[in-house]
Amino acid sequence: MESANATQVDQVATQSVQIEQVDSARLLKQFIDFPHDLYASDPNYVPELYMSQEALLNKKKSPFFLHSSAEYFLARNTSGKIVGRIAAIRNNNYIEFSKENAGFFGFFDVINDYSVAKALLDAACAWLRNENLESVIGPCNFSTNETCGLLIENFDEPPCILTTYNAPYYRAFVDQYGFQKHSDLLSYWLKTGTLDPKLEALSAQLEERLTRNGITLRTINMKDFKAEVERFLPIYNKSWSENLGFVPMTHAEVRQMGEDLKMGVDPDFVYFAEKNGEVIGIALAVPNLNEIFIKIKRGRLLPTGLFKFLFGRKSIKSVRVVALGILPEYRRFGLDMVMYTKFYQTAQRKGIRGGEASWILEKNDLMNRALLQIGGQVFRKHRIYQKYF
């Protein structure tokens, strides 16, 4: 589906461009802000919070740069106007873990002009080749631990929190450049009030069986938030290790993620599964803060954005299931269905109209079956690409 608004993004003729390396705080600010200008007339665009993007991209602040490297590029036309941006990313932890000599491209935004897109992709690929890498994967905003994927289906509504958004023409540009599909990422919509009573009863039976086997569920303890985030880390790194583009998160990275999410966390939507006091699974859903962020100009909380955020939280009507991870030895116990059912029940109790479960790898048969079984429907797709040099 393509909306008229989604395609009305700076239609321009082919033009000469100059590629500029981002090497100052002033240019980094321009790099972060470019999408706000690009999508100024698109009603579905949601600005990222500036403070979060700056903390992620600033090489002196971001924990990513404790182990890896990246270079950012801006494209300018002959009049000096910024017409695109891209990041070339060398993730050393990914290379070490996957044994794949691949880099990433990310933070890719561009006007509707293939010559500009090609110049940006040329710059990123040249930097990665100079790093002696053999291929490039993307778009990934450092890795699949962060936002990733090129939107290829459903341009008619705003993105959910922590998911990417782009105009439809991006796909044609990436295809034309020679990238090939690596994998599709599926987003499911789960509407509250539609759960089959039989499945709800089955979930209750499964939870009883889990309890008999010493497996219990609890919500997050916000008074012990930092320690809870640390408990999340080993489960994440073990249960997602077979996923596309997986990179083990470091303690510093998971702490940064926790800080970013803390202000939006609803403890009723965060579950820990434990056996004998040890965490064996986690499930995390967050209120869809994009319902508020879409109203915050250029992602600035100050001076007025903070009030919109604080007063808008109670009006949020959707959530996103960000993560559901279970240690491999416990995946056949029905724990995933129990957790999803609890999300359903909690959302209905709180007056939430529905939620997005994303992203799910198209080849993850276990999770796809579980979501379809409880009434989920695929309503959006993103794609990860790869190109060998």
Query: pLDDT value at position 3?
Result: 41
Band of residue 320 on the pLDDT scale cut at 50, 70, 90: very high
Please report, in angstroms and rounded to a whole number, the separation of the first and last CA atoms in the chain: 32
Tens digit of each residue's pLDDT (9 = 90 or more) over 55-109: 999 999 999 999 999 999 999 999 999 999 999 999 999 999 999 999 999 999 9
pLDDT digits (tens, 9 = 90+) for 279-295: 999 999 999 999 999 99
Span 136-153, mean pLDDT? 94
Sign of the Cα torsion 60, 64, 70, 73 reads negative
Pairing of strands 82-90, 69-76: antiparallel
Tokens (6 digits) for 328: 């491999």
Burial class (CB in 10 A: 0-12, 13-18, 19+), 296: buried
Question: What pLDDT is recorded for position 15?
Answer: 62
Nearest alpha-carbon partner for 287 in 160, 144, 192, 189: 160
The structure's pTM equals 0.90
- State which amino acid sits at residue 375: G
Decide if 19 contacts 73 (C-beta within 8 A): yes
Domains of the chain: 4-186 (3.40.630.30), 189-380 (3.40.630.30)
DSSP code of residue 296: S
Distance CA(176)–CA(181), nearest Å, equals: 12
Interatomic CA distance for residues 208 and 44, integer angstroms? 43
Is the separation of the CB atoms in 89 and 142 below 8 Å?
Answer: yes
Question: To the nearest whole percent, how much of the chain has pLDDT over 90?
Answer: 75
* C-alpha separations of 288 from 2, 91, 92, 264, 294 in Å: 23, 29, 32, 9, 11
d(CA 255, CA 51): 16
pLDDT tens column, 221-276: 999 999 999 999 999 888 887 777 778 899 999 999 888 888 889 999 999 999 98
Q: In the chain, how many H helices and how many E strands?
A: 13, 13
Alpha carbons 376 and 186: distance in angstroms, whole number? 11
The answer, yes or no, to whether residue 325 has pLDDT greater than 80, is yes
- What's the pLDDT score for residue 2? 42
Query: Strand pairing partners for 109?
Result: 85
What are phi and psi for residue 388, nearest 5 degrees?
-90, 145
> What is the rounded distance in angstroms from the CA atom of residue 174 to the CA atom of residue 102?
17
